Amino acid sequence: MKKAIALALAGVMSVGLLAGCGSTGNSSSASTGTDAATGETSTTSSGAGSLSISWWGGDSRHTAYQNALAAFTEETGIQVDTHYGAWSGWEDQTSAALYSGNAEDVMQVNWNWLSQYSGDGSKFVDLNEYSDIIDLSQFPQSTLDACTVAGKLQALPVSMTGRIFYWNMNTFKEAGIEEVPSTLDDLYAAGEAFKTKLGDDYYPLAMGEYDRMLLMTFYLESTYGKPWVEDNTLQYTVEEIATGIDFIQSLEDNHVIPSLQTMNAAGIDGNNSIDKSEQWINGMYAGIFEWDSSATKYKGSLADPSGFTVGNEIKFGDKANGGFSKVSMGLAITETCQDKEAAAQLINFLLNGDGAGIMGSECGIPNSASGLAAAEAAGAVDELVLEANTKVMQFVDFQLDPTYESNDLKANPGGVYTDVFGGYSYGEYTDSTEAATDLYDGVTEALEDAAKG
């Protein structure tokens, strides 16, 4: 008898465990929306609903967003929950969240994500439908077109961006160079001067794998006068690409840029960008080739920022200026968003309204006319960023194709660019043609994948 009771008990216990689990499961999935959205920081809810938003960036961008969101809450009573972090590893999380339907209501998206994750238009809302809330007329039609994927305006462009050189002129002066390098020969001369006057550990420029790919594209487009990719087809032959790889290697050979091994040794890799290295902070690496919107970040990490200068674009060939601009990032509303009107309101606030004044140039020079006006009125446009942006936009003559930044190509480690430029710098290839073949095949494959959708 006792035994039977005991058995019953054991059974009940296990069932109890199960039941307990089941019920917690249910209640939580029901409450995810509200609990997660309000968060513990928020004060008593005003009942005006709540939103969530996610972005990546540096500490200063985090602060700008938080201030802007506080202003938004004050104005509308809508609480906004936040999710943010640094770029490294960000895309892993975001893509998983998008897939699992856990993505935030409003997302800061990289431009290529629109085609990569929502090529069929299933993830992001068509913002044309909210044109009564968001003033679309503030944006140039060309950038709106760039954000239109699968016939839907899936995001609004925050800013346009391109790559440009930045120099730490303090180090250049120590090497006896007063002028900002403006030609390829200037670069070679700077490499020589750094090596002889300052020593082997000093370089006028530092570039990771992706930076090299970008600079090579600038070089090729300028030399051959045609875009990298057009109509989803790579426009360059293996031989042409090989000359580009030789060009990058010549920079390494002439002490213009450190080898990737040297940079890895300094702790710079896929997880740790150049601005975190002592070599950059202390001026031993005196130049970078970066997005115009990154100016403040790189300046901010310098021990002595006084010599930080926006450089000039360099024209490498004679067929064209070369280089490209692209939509740097956009704000999008996910299809899983519960309150799309409120989300649209938030986007309008951040891009066209008072929020743009608070964001200033944190995400680049605002693409929206009224946003730029608000930022300028608030004095929140960084001179450096403006200068860099102006120089880039005046110079470049090509647009970027969305596949260029696809993860298969760009991921570090594992992407094609990383493997080709890393492998070449580490001496894993016998010659540049072999590396160029890998790059050609990798890009072609990525383009085919993109076409398949």
Partner 1 sequence: MSTASAPVRRSPFKKWCDQNTGLFFLIPWILGFLIFKFYPFASSLYYSFTDMNFFKGIREYGIMNYIDIFTEKETRTALLITFKYAFITVPLKLVFALFIAYILNFKIKFVNLFRTVYYIPSILGGSVAIAVLWRALFRDTGVINTMLGFFGIQGPDWLADRTWALFIICLLRVWQFGSAMVLFLAALKGVSVDLYEAATIDGASKTRQFFSITVPMITPVIFYNLVTQIAQAFQEFNGPYIITGGGPRNSTTLVALLVYNYAFKENEMGMACALAWVMFVIVMVLTVIAFSSQKHWVYYAD
Partner 2 sequence: MTPMKLETRHKIARFFQYFVLIVVGFVMIYPLLWMIGATFKSNAEIFTGIGFIPTNPTLDGYVAAVTQNYGGDINIWRAFLNTYSYVIPKVIFTVISSVIAAYGFSRFKFKGRDILFSIMISTLFLPQVVLNVPQYLMYNTFGWINSPLYLPLWVPTLFATETYFVYQLVQFMRSIPHDLDEAASIDGCGPVKILYKIICPMLSPSLVACGLFQFMWSCNDFMGPLLYVTTPTKYPMSIFVKLSMDGDAGFNWNRILALSLISIIPQLVVFFCAQDAFIDGIAAGSVKG
Binding residues for partner 1, per CB under 8 A? 3-4, 6-7, 10-11, 14-15, 17-18, 91-93, 95-96, 98-99, 116-117, 119, 260-267, 269-272, 278, 407-408, 411, 413-414, 419, 422-423, 426, 428, 452-453
> For residue 446, what are its two tokens?
């990525």
- DSSP assignment of 261-283 equals HHHHHTT-BTTB-GGGSHHHHTT
Contact partner at residue 62 from partner 1, partner 2, none, CB < 5 to 8 Å by partner kind: partner 2
Distances (CA, A) of 216 to 222, 243, 391: 10, 9, 19
Q: Beta strands of 215-263 (E only): which ranges?
A: 229-230, 233-234
Residue (383 or 428) nearer to partner 1, CB: 428
CA gyration radius, the chain: 25
* Other CB atoms within 10 A of residue 441 CB: 14
Distances (CA, A) of 309 to 182, 237, 263, 301: 13, 36, 22, 14
**Beta carbons within 8 Å of 227's beta carbon, 6+ residues apart:** 221, 235, 324, 398, 399, 401
Residue (240 or 269) nearer to partner 2, CB: 269
**Smallest distance from partner 1 to CB 298, Å:** 21
Binding mask 298-317 for partner 2 (x = CB under 8 A): --xx----------------
**Beta carbons within 8 Å of 24's beta carbon, 6+ residues apart:** none
Hey, which residues between 249 and 278 contact partner 2 (CB under 8 A)? 267, 271-272, 275-278
Residue (293 or 432) nearer to partner 1, CB: 432
Which helix (H) or strand (E) segment is 287 a member of? strand 287-291
Residue (275 or 362) nearer to partner 1, CB: 275
Contact partner at residue 5 from partner 2, partner 1, none, CB < 5 to 8 Å by partner kind: partner 2
Specify the stretch interacting with partner 2 by CB under 8 A; choose among 255-263, 294-302, 420-428, 435-443. 294-302
**Smallest distance from partner 1 to CB 445, Å:** 13
Provide the pairing of β-strand 50-56 with 106-110.
Answer: parallel
Residue (83 or 319) nearer to partner 2, CB: 83
- Decide if residue 85 touches partner 2 (CB under 8 A): yes
Q: Which of 76, 82, 170, 412 binds partner 2 (CB under 8 A)?
A: 82
From CA 329, how far away is CA 72, in angstroms rounded?
A: 21
∠ CA 274-315-283, nearest 5°, is 25
| Site residues (vs partner 2, CB under 8 A) | 2-3, 5-7, 9-10, 13-14, 17, 20-21, 24-25, 28-29, 31-32, 35-36, 39-41, 57-60, 62-63, 66, 81-86, 88-89, 93, 96-97, 99-102, 267, 271-272, 275-278, 281, 297, 300-301
